[in-house]
Amino acid sequence: MRNKYEEIMEEIQSRIDDGRLQPGDKLPSVRNFAKELNYSINTILKAYNELEKAHRIYSVPKSGYFLVGSDQLSSKTPPTTIDFSSAGPDKSKMPYRDYQHCMNQAIEIYREEMFQYSEPLGLPSLRHQLSKQLQDLQVFAPPERICVVSGSQQALDLLVSLPFPNRKEEICLEQPTHFSFIDSITSRGLNAIGIEMTQNGIDLDYLEKIFKERSIKFFYTVSRFQNPTGYSYSNYEKKRMVELAQKYDVYIIEDDYMGDLDTNKKADPMFANDPSGRVIYTKSFSKVLLPGLRLGMAVLPEALLKDFMKAKFAADVHTPVLTQGALEIYLNSGMYKAHIQKLRRQYKKKGTILKNAFLEYLPAEASFTGGNSGFYSTIELPKRMKATQLVNHLKKKNVLVQDATNMYLPVYRKENRIRLSVSQVEDWKIPIGVKKIGEGIQKLINTYY
């Protein structure tokens, strides 16, 4: 549980992030800030003293407190800009101070382990804790089958190259999907089969045709809040995919990197339909904790453990012990569960605001996907319109969006789709930004089409 002065520090950081406070600006006086936020003067003084110790602010006798003049403390974009292109977690809601305590404690607890190499699959104590934690997501796996990785992307990148027990070669994946996995495929020249992801999910009959007619090693899918569409499969869809994989000897890599944010308590991962190893479950902590930690995990079938461990050892020997230890402490303390509950409410609210704005402001010629989590969604433009045209137009209006063209394999590429994330956009700015997007689409239609 946070101290009151830490809440004050978070409020100041929020004002820095959204541009209300710039480097060199004077902070509110202690008395005025106490009155504004309904805290005691002593609490405000404690927060200011802590920020001063951390060299974030400095005091001038008889003048007050000022923000240190460093660009690193200010927003990377002007305060008037509405940034739908940045897809990281909301910085103002991240548990920096809590995790700092965990890091400091991990240094003490694991000081001996830091002077030697650790197990390639991860600290046994963390893997045991992850096994317990995953049960909340209906993923029941023994610690022996869990591997700690440097972000879930490392697990995906290693799995792409490993031989699988079915001895097949081709990879099936949703189109579009996130850039990093596309790079893992294309950089190795692997043969990949795409299946289109629409606002209604994928065509399961076509997926069966692919599994039946092609030599599919594994099907890669983001089962909840897919990047970039934001789509989440129903329990029926997930169960059907697992049945097809079992029937045609295909593995599934289920990337559930944001499963923690799902507010639907009845939603199960694909892994729950086949925990024996047909479904390989991967998860990241980047979107819900701190991306810089580069921590993720994978639940592997026994048949792949030996080869995966060799590949992991060759890649980086093991994931850093200090960050592993801090995560174990954070999970075990109950802080992670409290943090996730708060994030669920936050992103659910953002998703509702976003979907309502889409319905109100997008022209009939455009369609949208996602919006349920507030993290990812896409807008499909009229077929002749290029995403780059809209991106450039909106940039002049101080609205940033992501061209999704590079989120496709070259052979399946579409150039009329943009990705949005409202994870770092203040709630009140979301409708304003979507309105500008709708106006931009309509203007391009009127001008060129």
In 3D space, the residue among 171, 178, 124, 175 whose CA is nearest the CA of residue 146 turns out to be: 124
Q: How many residues does the chain have?
A: 449
Q: Are residues 246 and 151 in the same domain?
A: yes
Instruction: Count how many domains the chain has.
Output: 3
**323 residue type, one letter:** T
- 260 with 282, same domain? yes
Instruction: Classify 442 in phi/psi space as left (phi over 0), alpha (psi -120 to 50) or beta.
Output: alpha
Give, as one character, the DSSP assignment of residue 20: S
In this prediction, residues 439-444 reach a mean pLDDT of: 96
Q: Is residue 86 part of a domain?
A: no
Residues 308 and 271 in one domain: yes
Q: What are phi and psi of 196, to 5 degrees?
A: -70, 135
Examine the domain organization and report whether 140 and 161 are in the same domain.
yes
Residue 81 within any structural domain of the chain: no
Q: Does a structural domain hold residue 92? A: no
Q: In this structure, are 103 and 163 located in the same domain?
A: yes
Mean pLDDT of 36-58: 87
- Give the SS3 label for residue 64: strand
Residue 85 lies in a domain: no
Q: Is 80 domain-assigned?
A: no
Last residue of a domain, one of 304, 335, 366: 335
175-185 exposure pattern, b = at least 16 Cβ within 10 A, e = fewer: bbbbeebbebb
- Is residue 89 in a domain? no
Domain at 22, CATH number: 1.10.10.10
- Using CA atoms, how far apart are residues 121 and 105, in angstroms rounded to an integer? 22
Distance CA 206, CA 329 (A): 45
The answer on 403 and 260 residing in a single domain is: no
According to the model, what pLDDT value does residue 428 have?
92
The pair of structure tokens assigned to 449 is: 């089409």
Q: Spell out the alpha helix ranges (H) of 55-95.
A: none
Looking at the fold, whether 314 and 347 belong to one and the same domain comes out as no
The answer to whether residues 203 and 249 touch, using CB atoms and an 8 Å cutoff, is: no
Same domain, 211 and 331: yes
pLDDT of residue 173: 98
Residue pLDDT, tens place only, 309-355: 999 999 877 788 888 888 898 888 888 888 888 888 888 899 999 99
Pairing of strands 216-222, 170-175: parallel
149: tokens are 């990785």
pLDDT band at 233 (very low <50, low <70, confident <90, very high): very high
Per-residue confidence band for 382, with pLDDT thresholds at 50, 70 and 90 = very high
CATH number at residue 276: 3.40.640.10
Report, as an integer, the average pLDDT of 36-59.
Answer: 86
Give 203's contacts (C-beta < 8 A, 6+ positions apart). Answer: 195, 196
Residue 72: what pLDDT? 43
Q: Same domain for 357 and 404?
A: yes
The pLDDT of residue 227 is 92
Judged against a pLDDT cut of 90, whether residue 111 lies above it is answered with no
> DSSP string of 385-429?
S-HHHHHHHHHHTTEE-EE-GGGS-GGG--SSEEEE--TTS-TTH
| Tokens of residue 117, six digits | 């190499």
**β-strands 402-403, 417-420: how paired?**
antiparallel
**Alpha helices (H) along 64-113:** 96-109
Q: Which pLDDT score is estimated for 371?
A: 66
Query: Is 327 in the same domain as 342?
Result: no
CA 267 to chain CA centroid, nearest Å: 19
Confidence grade of residue 373 (pLDDT, cut at 50, 70, 90): low
Only one residue has tokens 């308590």, namely 265
CB 289 within 8 A of CB 254: no
What's the predicted TM-score (pTM) here? Answer: 0.80
Q: Kindly report the average pLDDT of the chain as a whole number.
A: 89
Range(s) of the domain holding residue 45? 4-75
Mean pLDDT of 299-317: 91
Cβ-Cβ contacts under 8 Å for 413 (sequence gap 6 or more): 405
Reduced to 3 states (helix: H, G, I; strand: E, B; else coil), residue 336 is helix
Task: Give yes or no for a contact between 184 and 219, defined as CB atoms under 8 angstroms apart.
Answer: no
Whether 82 is in a domain gets the answer no
pLDDT digits (tens, 9 = 90+) for 66-97: 887 654 434 445 567 899 998 777 777 777 77
Instruction: Read off the tokens for 213.
Output: 């007619």
Collapsed DSSP state (helix, strand, coil) of residue 83: strand
Residue 129 sits in the same domain as residue 207: yes
Are both 294 and 247 inside the same structural domain? yes
SS3 state at 16: helix
Contact 361, 437 (CB under 8 A): yes
Helices (H), 179-279: 179-187, 204-213, 235-247
Radius of gyration of the chain (CA): 23
Give the residue-averaged pLDDT of 419-437: 93
